[in-house]
Amino acid sequence: MIGDFSAKTGPDRHGVEATVSPHGSAEHTNDNGDRSAMTCSTSGLCVGNTLFKHKKMHITTWTSPDCSTQNETDYICISRCWLTSLQDVWACRWADVSSDHNLVIAKICTKLLKLRKVQASCPFELSKLKDPETSSSFRIKPANRFTILQDSRDVMENWQAFQEVVKESAETTLGRRKGSYKKRWISDESWKLIDKRKQIKTLRDQTQTQQQKMNEDYRHADKEVKKVVKMTKEVKRERSRKS
C-alpha cells in the first residue's frame, strides 16, 4: 500500500510493535498516524519507512510552502509475509517532480521459485517397423489383448485399455529412441559402437591393471565410432542432395 497518509509516526509503538518500527521521524504520532497504524495492523501490513534508519533529509517526504516545516507523510507499507524482501525505503530529494512531496523509493529483492523442468521421455523407435518381423510382432501382441475387450461396452474403458496395450507392445517390441531429437540421424550400428566404447572407458577407469591394453582398446573403439559416424553423415548428405 503506497500513498500520502498525512500521518506522523513517532517513537510510541504501543500495541503496534509488529507494524511500526522505531525509526519514525516525528516526535509524536498524530491522529492519522494512529489510524494508519491500526489499519496496517488489521490488514497484516508493516510500515516500511520506519524499518530503516536514515538521515532526516532522506526521511522527510513533504515540505511546507514556506520551506520551514518538513514531515514524513508518504509511506510504503508491505505485507508481513514479504517483509524480508524489502531492502530499503528512502526519500529521493533530487527527483524533479514539481511538487511539494518528495519521491519515495523502495528497494525490493525477491527470490523466485525455480521451476523444475519435466523431462519428457524419448519417443518410440518407429523406424524398426520397417522390418517385417518387428512389424508383425508389434501387430500380434495387441491383437491378442483386444480379444478380451470385445464384450465390454464401456467406451472409456476400451480407450484406456487400447492405450495401455499399444504402449506396452511398443515398449517391448520397438523400445525408445536413443539420444535427443538432434541426434536422430545416428544409426543403430553407431549407437552400439558408442555403448561399447562407453563400457570400455568405464572398465578402464575402474581397473588399476593392464592400463596400456585398456587404452589401446579404447582408442580402437573410438576410431570405429568416428569411422561409422563419418560414413553415416556422408550418406545423410547424399540423400539430402538427391532430395
Burial of 169 (0-12, 13-18, 19+ CB in 10 A): buried
How many helices (H) and strands (E) the chain has is answered by: 5, 7
How far, in Å, are 42, 97, 128 from residue 14 at the CA level? 15, 36, 78
Which tens digits make up the pLDDT trace of 88-114?
A: 999 988 877 778 888 999 999 987 777
DSSP 8-state symbol, 127: G
Cα–Cα dist 211/11, whole Å: 77
77 phi, psi to nearest 5 deg: -110, 140
Query: Using 50, 70 and 90 to split pLDDT, how confident is the model at 147?
Result: low
Q: With left for phi above 0 and alpha for psi between -120 and 50, is residue 98 left, alpha or beta?
A: left
Pairwise CA distance, residues 81 & 45, whole Å: 9
Q: What percent of the chain has pLDDT over 90?
A: 9
Q: What is the mean pLDDT of the chain?
A: 82
pLDDT band at 149 (very low <50, low <70, confident <90, very high): low
**pLDDT(73) > 80:** yes
Average pLDDT over residues 35-60: 89
Q: Structure pTM? A: 0.46
Q: Per mean pLDDT, which range of 118-122, 123-127, 144-148 is the poorest?
A: 144-148
- Report pLDDT digits (tens) over 165-209: 888 888 888 777 776 666 766 777 787 888 888 888 888 877 777
**Looking at the predicted structure, is the pLDDT value of residue 77 above 90?**
yes
Which stretch of DSSP H or E encloses residue 104? strand 103-108
Residue 75: per-residue pLDDT: 92
In the predicted model, what is the mean pLDDT of residues 25-53? 89
- At 65 the pLDDT is 84
